[in-house]
Amino acid sequence: MIEISELVKTYPGPAEDISVLDGLDLSVGKAESIAIVGPSGCGKTTLLNILGTLDVPTSGSVSIAGKELSQLDAEERSKFRNRSLGFVFQQHFLLPQCTVEENVIMPRLAGGWEESESDTRERAISLLRDLGLEERVAHRPYQLSGGERLRVAVARALINQPALVLADEPTGSLDPSMGEQVADLFAQLNDQHGVTLVTVTHNAALAERMGVVYALEKGKLQRR
């Protein structure tokens, strides 16, 4: 599903360039799940952003489902993001003027959906129920706690039934029991629906439930 080789990412710095990813290799099969751990600033979000086509590598190759990302044109990239990818961002980026339910079905706005809007709404409610938010569907983000906003972001990432889920600290602001509920949902997606999962996390309990755990160190991944 994911093949990365010799991935390099540097950012321009005030004096010299900052090297974040430095010849990173990774291979993740379909329906596999991995966790990526590492200290703040080591490049975890940078790696997810590149996998999600939100950022581009300085050099190296990244392919997903057999397609080299650098070869995709803008339209193919946005199609990939809208139809095959679920992204749970570290900053959740919920739309403040929209309700919880509207935020979850927001990916529909990008178009290309075969399913009727009422079926999508039904699935949104069911996802929100799984995440303990059935009483919050008509709330707006400012009326939610941090953990509730995070769970809305998880539901939004799953609404398009993606083949690949990239999650950046998906249990960051959750208490242990809610964290476990998110971990259960991910495990279920992975086991029953063959979804490939790449999760960045500081949560040892969540990391343990992924098939393989990698540490991001000095710009490369080391298998734990």
Ligand X SMILES: Nc1ncnc2c1ncn2[C@@H]1O[C@H](COP(=O)(O)OP(=O)(O)OP(=O)(O)O)[C@@H](O)[C@H]1O
Write out the residues near Mg ion by the rule CB under 5 A. Answer: 45, 90
Instruction: Kindly identify the residues of this chain, within the stretch 116-155, that bind ligand X according to CB under 6 A.
Output: none
Q: Which is nearer to Mg ion, 19 or 90 (CB)?
A: 90
Question: Judging by DSSP bridges, how do beta strands 2-11 and 59-64 pair with one another?
Answer: antiparallel
**Three-state DSSP class for residue 198:** strand
Give the one entry of Mg ion, ligand X, none that residue 103 binds, where binding means its C-beta sits below a cut-off of 5 to 8 angstroms depending on kind. Answer: none
d(CA 76, CA 89): 21
Instruction: Kindly identify the residues of this chain, within the stretch 10-49, that bind ligand X according to CB under 6 A.
Output: 11, 18, 20, 38, 40-46
Residue 60 within binding range of ligand X, rule CB under 6 A: no
Tell me the HSE value of 172 on the side-chain side, using a 13 A CA sphere: 18
Angle, in degrees to the nearest 10, between helices 146-158 and 176-193: 0
Give the one entry of Mg ion, ligand X, none that residue 42 binds, where binding means its C-beta sits below a cut-off of 5 to 8 angstroms depending on kind. Answer: ligand X
Quickly tell me which residue has 């000095």 as its tokens. 218
User: Measured from the CB of residue 168, what is the shortest distance to Mg ion in angstroms?
Assistant: 6
Q: Which residues bind ligand X (CB under 6 A)?
A: 11, 18, 20, 38, 40-46, 90
